[in-house]
Chain A
Amino acid sequence: MSTTLKYEEKQLKIVGTRPARPDGVDKVTGRARFGADYNLPGQLIGKALRSPHAHARIVSIDVSAALALPGVKAVVTRDDFAEMPDEMAPVGELMINFRDVTRNMMAREKVLYDGHPLAAVAATSESVARAALALIKVEYEVLPHVIDVVEAMRPDAPLLNENQYTQGVKPKPERPSNIAKRLEFGRGDVAAGFAQADVIVEREFNTKPVHQGYIEPQACLASYSADGQAELWTATQGQFVFRAQCAKVLQMDVSKIRVTPTEIGGGFGGKNNIYNEPLAIALSRKSNRPVKMVMTREEVFRATGPTPGANVRVKLGATRDGRITAAEAVLNFQAGAFPGSPVNQASMCAFTRYDLANVHVVGNDVVVNRPKVAAYRAPGAPIAVLGVESVIDEMAKKLGIDPIEFRLKNAAKEGTQTYYGPKLGPIGYVQTLEAARAHAHYRAPLGPNQGRGVATGFWFNIGNETTCSLNLQEDGSLTLLLGVIDVAGGSRASLSMMVAEELGIELDRVRPVIGDTSSLGFNFLTAGSRGTFAGGMAAVVAARNLIEKMRQRVAKVREVPVEAVAWKDGRAQPADASVAQFEPMTLTELARMGGKTGGTMAGHAEINAQGAGPGFGTHIVDVEVDRETGAVKILRYTVVQDVGKAIHPAYVEGQMQGGATQGIGWALNEEYVYGADGILQNPGFLDYRVPVASDLPHIDTVIVEVPNPNHPYGVRGCGEVPIIAPMAAIANAIENATGVRLTQQPFSPPRVLKALEGAGKAQG
């Protein structure tokens, strides 16, 4: 059964204010404990041996010399893990292919990318562990590799998996392929739509993989006990999903693994997947000692999932008066070494900002010799939207229509039929476009070599399985035990705020704690902008559940019918003086008498939250282009976004600013650079260039609030949407400044200069 709580408009005391976050003091004093900050007595240090080849068959692995090194306590390889069937298995509502999971964490027949782990050691110190890795002898048969998505799709490309046949193609292909899956979405008749068009714009775009770039490398600590129980401390976006995956690949009962999520130093989707965790547990099992594994930054870049690079083709037709008649896209996404790129989500996000009668989108999920991709903030959407919003901009220019006006003419609204399924409910897309058009930024003057760009983004937002408990403590204060991880966004703050609002009490009385896997039932990952939506719904359910129990208790103690007891202003009060009269009872009074009157009271929620409200955003950016060097400077940036309701506006602004900044990095300088040998050349923050403070201007934010009818406070979620538009907005701004349209991401100086020179628009 799924849970939806309807939106109710009401006077708010706490929701919408900006209190200090509950994890704030710990984080400014160094007390907060992140993944690498946990230690156990007697712990060993674990390190993984990683492939130096992009693609090779493993002929043999000899660990004898490593095992003989003093201080080495255990070594694990593929032989220590069971084969897993090639099928999709459920982890909650999530479906996972464990054949691939077990191969990604520890190579079996082949290494499939530079950095692919194929052995791990546990030793008494890091230096001994490193020395042991150097003693492991691996014989490889190096195979031809392929890292480009278009090349990988060719029939003669080197195959990563000889048993992979393209799904979604009928009849079943006769030959195996790197194309794992072909998807198709659409409605109407695109051919007819293009026939009606006065103007057609068609463009091809190419993007490189980019990394989430969380500042905390993956870190975990495992302790396996001889009775078959394991404890794991790890920086994760989903302690329950990690537990399920570890249990499966280690062939343990789920209940025998207890995962305690540590404070997490950023995730953005990149900490949804296990890497070292099962290796650490296996090493602990073998050595009978706790094992700690912390990745280096180089390992993070080489072996944890970036978001895919892609090849995208977009075609758009419109009438002279500015009505889009047909839209078509082909999205070829790199999945990395195993299937599962976000091409599905990207296909659905490509055109959903527009009300279109004729749409057709094809998506291909393609394996290449690169690390398996992971989610990254609105997975896939920015890549599709770079193409679509660039073409939309070009079309508006061709038609002589203001770019915001053109979008408004075609904007999706409540009731718009999507091309992938549902009709849209109440949404705030038009409101974000209108707010952007009304913003002073949109009319500010521009200087020479400066240009302005606009682009928009859409993300579904999601709900899913969520649990929490709200324990009334004996002094009347409350512990809010949460199953959703507070990755960074401040969900501990926003969820406590909703609880305090429900109960009508001071926020300070609610202490949020993130639970380990033994303290609550299964929770989905913190992903898809669900934390405040689904976590908030669960918190409200738990608060109302507690209120219900308190009303019953008061009714019992005061000997009145339960209907006569109302919860108002933080107290149990007579619902109506004519029905019953009794002294109001506060939380403190209820807590004090709890034990004597039937036991302590707690509210619980075990829900599957449904009814997530789609989020839309409109971005405006001004750039200045140096025509002699190709350098692009961001001069001004404004993010407008419908979040439904901003529970804690400061953290909503923070999501908008942070997402936009990641999008700016993606647009300008971030990329995975591979050599012809298939080896990653920039696995560090020196040459993988995330934006620094001095690269950026003030980033202005405008919060639009069109309530989600399916959330008690109207929350939609806000984390994903702000990364979607920046790449396209910046491409449009560069075009506006120079007359040159960029289609190869990143828009780094050498690429921009080359494009300017190609168009005869460079200087000097």
Chain B
Amino acid sequence: MRYEAPKTLEQAIALLAGANGRARVLAGGTDLVIQMRSGRAEPELLVDIKGIPELRSLAAEAGGYRVGAAVTCMELIEHAAFAKAWPGIIDGVKYIGSIQVKGRATMGGNLCNASPAADSVPALIAAGAIACIAGPKGRREAPVEEVVTGPGKTTLAGGELVLSFLLPRRQPRSGDAYLRFTPRSEMDIAVVGAGVNLTLGAKGVCSAARVSLGAVAARALLVPEAAAALLGSKVDAAALERLAAAASAACRPIDDKRGTKEFRIKVAGVMARRAAAIALERARGQN
């Protein structure tokens, strides 16, 4: 196994493209190193992308933010302005393992590892984040919900990697939140995750909403029916109950060691409702 740490994107893409699918991108490594140790991943080439400045930058852009795919979770958490604009994404990022893991882990890695339970992904989907992808054929953009297709599987073509995420300009009176359910208070993998992003109109009526669920299907889901339950409402108890029902109805979970199907379906609604209540509070606080 070879290790390369290119300094430019072009070099990285050339390395990846030249490896016939036997290369893996190394960002934070918090998933990949474990997979290599257990024998689940046996790459011939590791391309460490942390030396490429564009992947490591976090900057304002077009009234929103562009977050490099290799920015670590801790760097994101410590970025006060970003955290104020997108607290729901910070919720998701904070759940990614311990402080130690967050010191290395990245949102790019969290997405491309393609686990249905990735904590930052529903928050990014709810936020309407756009992934910027680069490859041998140049750059393209894709909504985050279109990057992952199933456990361990993405739409990234050979030689492609995720460069950054673009978070749009924040509308006034907007708030987002991500909540997940785990048996322990920390350190677990989400049994269910729910991201909610909403905007309130002048009279407190919900004018825009996006809802995303994690760990309830083969990939994180964007659930328009759940968002529809909020739209036009004052996000009152009745709307929240409709949201919960729509979220539960959207689940296509499996039984596994972390939870049963029926538990996930029930708790998905609960998490969506509770996340929406937090998002509402945040939207009201952002006048």
Contact = CB atoms under 8 A, between A and B. Distances in A.
A692 B99 CA distance: 13
Contacts of B269: 764
Nearest to B189: A686
B95 to A, nearest CB: 12
Interface stretch (B6-14, B137-145, B170-178, B179-187): B179-187
A750 B186 contact: no
Interface stretch (B46-54, B217-225, B228-236, B259-267): B259-267
Interface in B11-46: 38
B258 A628 contact: no
A160 B202 CA distance: 72
Contacts of B183: 631, 668-669, 689, 748-749
A215 to B, nearest CB: 14
Interface string A652-693: 000000000000000011000100000001100011010110
Interface in B260-283: 260, 263, 266-267, 269-270
A565 B266 CA distance: 80
B181 A686 contact: no
A695 B185 contact: yes
B267 A629 contact: yes
A74 interface: no
A749 B257 contact: no
A694 interface: yes
A669 B189 contact: no
B244 A669 contact: no
Given A764-B244, A764-B269, A764-B270, A750 B259 contact: yes
A764 B271 CA distance: 12
Contacts of A692: 184-187
Nearest to B241: A764
A687 B270 contact: no
B188 interface: yes
A686 B260 contact: no
Nearest to A633: B185
Contact of A686 (B185, B187, B244, B266): B187
A753 interface: yes
A748 B185 CA distance: 13
A38 to B, nearest CB: 23
Given A629-B267, A631-B183, A692-B185, A687 B259 contact: no
The secondary-structure label for the interface of chain A is loop
Given A628-B270, A764-B244, A764-B266, A750 B185 contact: no
Contacts, number: 54
Given A629-B267, A748-B183, A764-B270, A673 B257 contact: yes
A300 to B, nearest CB: 15
B80 to A, nearest CB: 24
Interface string B187-204: 111010000000000000
Nearest to B183: A669
A681 B38 CA distance: 14
B3 to A, nearest CB: 15
A295 B181 CA distance: 32
A630 B181 CA distance: 11
Nearest to A749: B183
Contacts of B267: 628-629, 749, 753
B226 to A, nearest CB: 16
B257 A682 contact: yes
A689 B187 CA distance: 9
A687 B258 contact: yes
A753 B266 contact: yes
A298 B37 CA distance: 11
B1 to A, nearest CB: 10
Nearest to A687: B257
A686 B31 CA distance: 12
A695 B257 CA distance: 20
Interface string A628-650: 11110000000000000000000
A692 B187 CA distance: 8
Interface string A747-764: 011100110000000001
Contacts of B257: 673, 681-682, 687
A469 to B, nearest CB: 44
Nearest to B248: A764
A577 B188 CA distance: 72
Interface in A608-630: 628-630
A298 B34 CA distance: 12
Contacts of A298: 38
Interface string A39-50: 000000000000
Given A749-B181, A764-B270, A694 B259 contact: no
A754 B244 CA distance: 19
A589 B12 CA distance: 76
Contacts of A682: 257
A749 B244 CA distance: 19
Contacts of A631: 181, 183
Contacts of A753: 263, 266-267
A689 B263 contact: no
Interface string A476-490: 000000000000000
Contacts of B266: 628, 753, 764
A692 B258 CA distance: 17
Contact of A689 (B181, B188, B244, B259): B188
Nearest to B260: A750
Contacts of B189: 686-687
A749 B186 CA distance: 15
Contacts of B270: 628-629, 764
A509 B38 CA distance: 49
A764 B38 CA distance: 41
Contacts of A628: 266-267, 270
Nearest to B259: A750
Nearest to A674: B257
Interface in A693-722: 694-695
Contacts of A686: 187-189
A250 to B, nearest CB: 31
A691 B188 CA distance: 11
Contacts of A749: 181, 183, 191, 259, 263, 267
Contact of B184 (A689, A754, A764): A689
B184 A695 contact: yes
Contacts of B38: 298
Contacts of A754: 263
A630 B184 CA distance: 12
Contacts of A629: 181, 267, 270
Nearest to B244: A764
Nearest to A628: B270
Contacts of B186: 692, 694-695
Nearest to B192: A629
B90 to A, nearest CB: 18
B239 to A, nearest CB: 15
B169 to A, nearest CB: 35
Contacts of B259: 749-750
A696 to B, nearest CB: 9
A228 to B, nearest CB: 38
A691 B185 CA distance: 9
A298 B187 CA distance: 18
Contacts of B258: 687
A127 B189 CA distance: 29
Given A669-B184, A687-B189, A692-B187, 9 more contacts: A628-B266, A630-B263, A631-B181, A681-B257, A686-B188, A687-B257, A695-B185, A749-B181, A764-B244
Interface of A: 298, 628-631, 668-669, 673, 681-682, 686-687, 689, 691-692, 694-695, 748-750, 753-754, 764
Shortest 4 CB-CB distances between A and B: which pairs? A750-B263, A694-B185, A673-B257, A628-B270
18 contacts: A629-B181, A629-B267, A630-B263, A631-B183, A668-B183, A669-B183, A669-B184, A673-B257, A681-B257, A686-B187, A689-B183, A689-B187, A694-B186, A695-B184, A695-B185, A748-B183, A750-B263, A764-B270
Interface of B: 38, 181, 183-189, 191, 244, 257-260, 263, 266-267, 269-270
